[in-house]
Amino acid sequence: MWLAKEEHLESISIGAGILGTGGGGNPYIGQLRARQALREHGPVTVLDPEELDPDSQIVCVGGIGAPTVGIEKVRDWQAYHALRAIEEFTGKEATALISNEIGGSNSLEPLIPAAMAGLPVVDADGMGRAFPEFQMKTFFVHGVPYCPMAICDEKGNTVIIPNAISAKWAERLARAATIQMGCVACYAVAPMSARQVMETSVHHTLSLARDLGDAVKVARAGQQDPISAILKTHPGRVLFSGKVVDVERRTVGGFARGSVVIEGLDDHRGESMAIEFQNENLIARRDGQPVCTVPDLICLVETERGEPITTELLRYGFRVTVLGFPAPDLWTGPEGLAVVGPRAFGYDLDYTPLVV
Amino acid sequence: MLIGIDVGGTNTDAVLMDGTTLLAKAKTPTSGDVTSGIMAALEKVLSGIPVQLIAGVMLGTTHFTNALLERRGLAPTAVVRLSLPATRLLPPLVDWPNDLRNAMGGFTYMASGGYEFDGREISPLDFDELGEIVRDIRQKGVEAVAVSGVFSPVNPTQEREAGAFIQRELPHVQITLSHENGRVGLLERENAAALNACLAKVGERSISSIKQAMEAMGLTAPLYLSQNDGTLMDESFAARFPVFAIASGPTNSMRGGAHLSGLSDCIIVDVGGTTTDIGALVNGFPREASLAVNIAGVRTNFRMPDVVSIALGGGSIVRPETLPEPLAVGPESVGFRLGVQALVFGGSTLTATDVAVAGGLAQLGDPALVSGLDTELGRRTLQQIKQRIETVVDQVKLSPSPVPVVLVGGGSLLVGESLVGASQVLRPEHGDVANAIGAAIAQVGGQIEKVFSLEDVGRDEAMASIRAEAIDRAVAAGAMPGTVEVVELDEIPLTYLPGNATLIRAKAVGDLRISPRG
């Protein structure tokens, strides 16, 4: 158990930026919003999954919408209203909240309703990284019901989806409502039990994000290598190191797709790496050969400062290091790969686990 | 004839130009009040020239940056955001430094209004509510008001209506509407509007004091101010939008370098006494930064040039290798004391300039004073300078193919004949006053950014309407109709949105509308 305070937010943002594998959007506003909530309502208790009372009712909350709208119509406390709406609909009172993803600003989203409602958050999430869609959560892949769910906007509108025939359908319906609401909604899913959280969430990811951010900040302050500081905190591998020489982008079905080509420097001189992304980085190929595939994490950080780089900021000339981290075990079985494996994203490629 | 002036941290440079020909140039120390240094530079370049021949004075100045940094002379300011019931968690000025906020009053209000991404209203304006706000503003003694609305770059109607209402009720206040700063990104656009509002008084005062001083010299030509995007604004526009004059220096250097070299697509390297600024020029204009720009501790989305600055210049102190410490050039610099402290001027500090003189790259001071310098040390120092500049040149390039590199600024003699990644290295004559030349030759521009649903509007229609608006804005800013061209047109598809929502940004520039006087 620990207390999430204002001074942790920057570290969590850096760490969630790394674990966000290029997705998750601009972390600045998420950080400001969480800071405002903590200033107004005080710090939030973070519970280990092991510390959960067996009778716990844990509600997963998250933002849904378009990051490009969120920088203009800045999100409020929609997640708090979604929490209250799902409590009312299910007749169950939440005892803790959990993050849907640890990548980007969604990693901080539960802190806002938690601070307002005086509830703890669980040190765990439903992805262990970032993914673009609602159904892509370890909870749902491993049998936790995705409905009922509540979606709330900033105006006071609430939509409840009591049932959907699949998590993918829940995503479609929620997305349609979100667009009508003006694209910066939040959702809350009916409570999970402590056992469900123990078995189907990726554990200790909020503290991992905090520790990764701390490691990067300490390395920067001491003029040390942030990359080795990251790898000391979380086991992974340097997949490549070089300079961005080409970025190609297009929007397909509402998602930012594209690829980035990195030309090797230092140990990788003479080689090149291409990374394909759809919001998140999905496939890394060195000299044409796949070396890391989704759901394993492919993270781009600025070589010098260890700053995570989201796909929308990629551009010619950046000195980057590509880090690979193994996916949480909950993703690497057949059920997980069916939802987030390379083929689920349209690549004619099998998942090959990264060896660290 | 035109006069270009650029106020830098150390020097105020001025040039007298006839068309594209440089007739005179002057360097004077920048003064504490800025204005008297400008006048001294003006007098120098004007010596012997009848003032009636001057058709315009183009000025790039640090007045407004200094006012913000020193928190001096700022107008008591209110910010009114049209957004309710949205965006309540983060009120206006939320992330400002406290002292700056206190220095400008920092009165904030939120009211009904705002638009969705697709143009629907979040809520209509409520004039009773605005009336309450106006009453409070009046009591607070506010002199400037910034009005911001959610998605006002998509639809500015509410901002205009609310602004007109406030102006009617409070005729003496200066009003800034956030959509006039352009970009999508509520907090950053609102910050820019608030900075502009609080500079309203400084803007009026400094422009009128410069005008008075010019008139005292008999100089009745119009005054123009350089903007940070490389275009000019006339004095009345500048008095309304002082914020656009912030950080115009690097832009002027880049534009001047482009003019002197005759290139419109290149990398400009401006080597000064303490720092080197490196940026890319695209279609004759500096490429703009895509990231948020921090001004006086406030996050904005200004139209700033994407310039990388490194601590390297003619005054950089050279520390020879003392194992295990490697050879170091900078970051410390002797700065404006170069003429006293450098070895070639009889001082005792080894600087980059000394190494350049010893290596025969420059003739300055007394070369005999550095004749004993270790040639191997000199070679490696110059090699390090070259490599550091090459690294940044590569970083600001748009593609891997070699591009021309133009060297300007007083310290450019530190750089040799070739650079890796450069197709050619140009060192134009008068490069030492490239910044003032950049101010003198600037054009007038207009810029606009909007979100379109291309499924509803159609791409051609959207493009045509945004081009027309950019051209209208350039003409409104003082460009001669007929000379205005659209120089930038960007399309940014927005993710997760229906209707093929796309952000389109256009920039148009044209020649300054000016009455020729000889």
Contact A74 B398 (CB under 8 A): no
Give the residue, B148 or B252, on which the prediction is more confident: B148
Name the token pair of B425: 């290295």
Strands of B144-149's sheet in order across? B107-112, B77-84, B144-149, B174-177
Judged by CB atoms closer than 8 Å, whether chains meet at A73 and B87 is answered as: yes
DSSP for B402-454, written as a single string: -EEEEEESGGGGGS-S--TTEEEEE--TTGGGHHHHHHHT-EEEEEEEEEEEH
pLDDT score recorded for residue B517: 43
Contact B88 A76 (CB under 8 A): yes
Retrieve residue B120's tokens: 């629907």
In sign, the C-alpha dihedral spanning B30, B35, B39, B40 is negative
pLDDT in tens, A2-61: 999 999 999 999 999 999 999 877 778 999 999 999 999 999 999 999 999 999 999 999
pLDDT at B58: 94
Residues of A engaging B, defined by a Cβ cutoff of 8 Å:
28-29, 32-33, 36-37, 65-69, 71-77, 112, 154-156, 175, 179, 182-184, 243, 245, 250-251, 254-256, 263, 279, 313, 315-319
Q: Do A36 and B187 touch (CB under 8 A)?
A: no
Question: How far, in Å, CA of A354 to CA of B12, rounded?
Answer: 59
Q: Give how far B265 is from chain A: nearest CA, Å.
A: 16
Per-residue model confidence as pLDDT tens digits over B459-517 = 888 889 999 999 998 898 888 888 898 887 777 766 666 667 777 888 898 888 875 44
Q: In the A/B pair of chains, how many CB contacts fall below 8 A?
A: 115
The more confident residue out of B480 and A250 is B480
**Residues paired with residue B294 on neighbouring β-strands, in sequence order:** B299
User: Looking at the predicted structure, is the pLDDT value of residue A118 above 80?
Assistant: yes
What tens digit of pLDDT does each residue of B138-179 get? 999 999 999 999 999 888 899 999 999 999 999 999 999 999
The predicted complex's ipTM stands at 0.91
pLDDT tens for B408-434 read 987 888 888 889 889 999 999 999 899
pLDDT in tens, A131-181: 989 999 999 999 999 999 999 999 999 999 999 999 999 999 999 999 999
CA distance linking residue B473 with residue B210, whole number of Å: 26
pTM, 2 dp: 0.86
- Count Cβ atoms within 10 A of the Cβ of residue B392 and give its class: 0-12 exposed, 13-18 middle, 19 or more buried: buried
Residue B90 touches partner A, C-beta closer than 8 Å: yes
Of A67, A251, A313, the CB nearest to B493: A251
B226 and B435 in contact (C-beta within 8 Å)?
no
Please state the rounded mean pLDDT for residues B267-285. 86
Check pLDDT > 50 for residue B71.
yes
B283 pLDDT band, cuts 50/70/90, is: confident
> Cβ contact (<8 Å) for A279 and B495?
yes
- Give the residue with greater pLDDT, B339 vs A90: A90
Q: Which residues make Cβ contacts (< 8 Å) with residue A79, sequence separation at least 6?
A: A61, A62, A63, A109, A110, A112, A113, A152, A186, A188
Q: Which residue has the tokens 């019901």?
A: A145
Helix axes of B127-140 and B157-169: crossing angle, nearest 10 degrees: 50
**What per-residue confidence (pLDDT) applies to B518?**
36
pLDDT (mean) for B370-383:
88
pLDDT at B284: 78
Query: Can you tell me the mean pLDDT for B19-27?
Result: 89
pLDDT greater than 70 at residue B9:
no
- Give A251's contacts in chain B (Cβ within 8 Å): 493-495
Q: What is the pLDDT of residue A334?
A: 96
Give dist(CA A241, CA A323) in Å, integer. Answer: 9
CB distance B186–A71 less than 8 Å?
yes
Buried b (16+ CB within 10 A) or exposed e, B460-486: eebbebbbebbbebbbebbbeeeebeb
Rounded to whole angstroms, how far apart are CA atoms A255 and B93?
32
User: Which residues in B lie closer than 8 A to residue A243 (C-beta atoms)?
Assistant: 394
pLDDT of residue A245: 85
Cα distance from A190 to chain B (closest Cα, Å)?
25
Could you report the per-residue pLDDT of A321-336, keeping only the tens digit for each?
999 999 999 999 999 9
Report whether A103 contacts B216 (CB < 8 A): no
Rounded to the nearest angstrom, the minimum Cα separation between B88 and chain A is: 6
Cβ separation of A66 and B495 shorter than 8 Å? yes
Name chain A contacts of B394, Cβ cutoff 8 Å. 243, 317
Does residue B395 belong to the interface with chain A, where contact is any CB pair within 8 Å? yes
Distance of CA A83 to the CA centre of its chain: 20
Rounded (5°) CA angle B430-B431-B432: 85
**pLDDT score at B10:** 67
The pair of three-digit structure tokens given for residue B297, joined into one six-digit string:
């501790």
Nearest beta carbon to residue B89 from set A77, A175, A256: A77
Cβ neighbours of A71 in B, within 8 Å? 184-187
Greater confidence (B73 vs B288) lies with B73
**Measured distance CA(B377)–CA(B351) in Å, rounded:** 12
* Sign of the C-alpha dihedral computed for residues A333, A335, A336 and A342 taken in this order: positive
Instruction: Confirm if B63 and B34 have CB atoms less than 8 A apart.
Output: yes
Rg (C-alpha) for chain A, rounded Å, is 19
Q: Is the model more confident about A157 or about B367? A: A157
